Amino acid sequence: MKTSKKMKETDAGYQLSLNKKKGFKGFAYRFAKNFRRDWQLHLMLLFPVVYMFIFHYIPIYGVQIAFRDYKAADGIVGSEWVGMQWFLKFWNNYKFKQIFFNTIRLSLYSIFATFPLPVIFALLINLYRTSRFRKFVQTVTYFPHFLSVVTIVAIISMVFGAFNGLYGNLYRFFGNTGYPPDFANSAAAFPHLYVWSGLWQSLGWNTIIYTAALTAVPQEMHEAAQLDGASRFKRMIHVDLPMIMPTVAIMLILRFGSIMGIGFAKVYLMQNPLNVSTSEVISTYVYKYTLGGGGESFSYGAAVDLFNSLINCFMLLLVNFISNKMSHKEVGLF
């Protein structure tokens, strides 16, 4: 009893001493105390912190290229400062509306058409009690995630090709002559092929976080609902779904935070002169201009990418603000 009382007094004195110190000195004092107590945990954090600092914070220094007429021979600091010249050039470009609209359309199409499906799929998988069947379904749906982008684009070509693809062969197999409409190279069909092939590739992988969240649902809530006569489907709607909604909201916020981040490799590989009117997005435009734009290409590409990042940051803050308002600050990144 005496030992326990002494420990409590010691802890109380420790907290009181921490609270008395304010400002930077207080922060340094508290950090030193906590570091000595949990130095192993702080040591584990050292490696990711160093990685983030080297590969994500130090390169921020090069952002000023977007505001300079960058010449490799002059270096970053030695290049002439031109302010907003490259941003204005991009905004006044005759292709700006087209590539901006294409980027936004593909991203919003992907969010609203496919984002809810991994949630629904995870809930349906959780319905089955047979673990063997669940593992089989998860393994089959996870597999496409590990295929390379080149392989995915090749599969799209082999399936939807009008000349030698499965689609064209089935068209002629049923007695039709000639060739069917070429969906694989159609400008109108490009957004659908891009989005739904992406869903097939990532559906199983995106369910992992929701499946993990479902395992944290208290079993007592299911038992109470079952005693009230709720079926398994009703328990999924009224127990499982509300419990994972905070996770769903966080993932949606993060998804909107990369609304301008359309994957470059897949779009570029699927792109051709026939569908370029709907497949030209900001990332492919920057790639082409950077490699073939002459001396001003690096600064121009940096300006366009910085413009992309600013929109992503704005959307992240906006959706996070809306989520905080709707949930009374219970669901949000900060």
- Residue 14 shares a structural domain with residue 154: no
Considering the domain boundaries, does residue 331 fall inside one?
Answer: no
What would the pLDDT profile of 70-88 be if each residue is shown by its tens digit?
888 888 888 889 989 999 9
- Residue 40 shares a structural domain with residue 137: no
Who has greater pLDDT, 86 or 24? Answer: 86
- CA–CA dist 99, 282 (Å, integer): 6
- Residue 217 shares a structural domain with residue 281: yes
Q: Looking at the predicted structure, is the pLDDT value of residue 294 above 80?
A: no
Residue type, 255: R
pLDDT band, very low/low/confident/very high, at 163 (cuts 50, 70, 90)? confident
Of 49-53, 152-156, 284-288, 293-297, the poorest mean pLDDT is in 293-297
Considering the domain boundaries, does residue 74 fall inside one?
Answer: no
Task: Tell which of 69, 100, 126 closes a domain.
Answer: 69
Question: Contact 227/170 with Cβ under 8 angstroms?
Answer: no
pLDDT at residue 295, rounded to an integer: 46
Mean pLDDT computed over 95-118: 91
Considering the domain boundaries, does residue 23 fall inside one?
Answer: yes
What are φ and ψ of residue 84, in 5° steps?
Answer: -90, 15
What would the pLDDT profile of 230-241 be if each residue is shown by its tens digit?
888 888 898 999
- Classify residue 10 by its DSSP letter: H
- Residue 152 shares a structural domain with residue 272: yes
What would the pLDDT profile of 301-333 be if each residue is shown by its tens digit?
889 888 988 898 898 888 888 888 887 777 777
Q: Domains in the chain: how many in total?
A: 2
- Residue 233 shares a structural domain with residue 266: yes
Of 3-17, 79-93, 126-140, 232-246, the poorest mean pLDDT is in 3-17
What would the pLDDT profile of 9-19 be if each residue is shown by its tens digit?
445 455 545 45
Residue 47 C-alpha from the chain's centroid: 23
- Residue 123 shares a structural domain with residue 64: no
**Average pLDDT value for the chain:** 84
- Of 242, 204, 233, 214, the closest CA to residue 114 belongs to 204
Helix or strand or coil: residue 324? helix
Q: Looking at the predicted structure, is the pLDDT value of residue 250 above 60?
A: yes
- Residue 12 shares a structural domain with residue 102: no
pLDDT band, very low/low/confident/very high, at 119 (cuts 50, 70, 90)? very high
pLDDT at residue 15, rounded to an integer: 52
Q: Looking at the predicted structure, is the pLDDT value of residue 105 above 80?
A: yes
- Of 297, 277, 316, 312, the closest CA to residue 90 belongs to 297
For residue 24, what are the domain limits?
Answer: 2-69
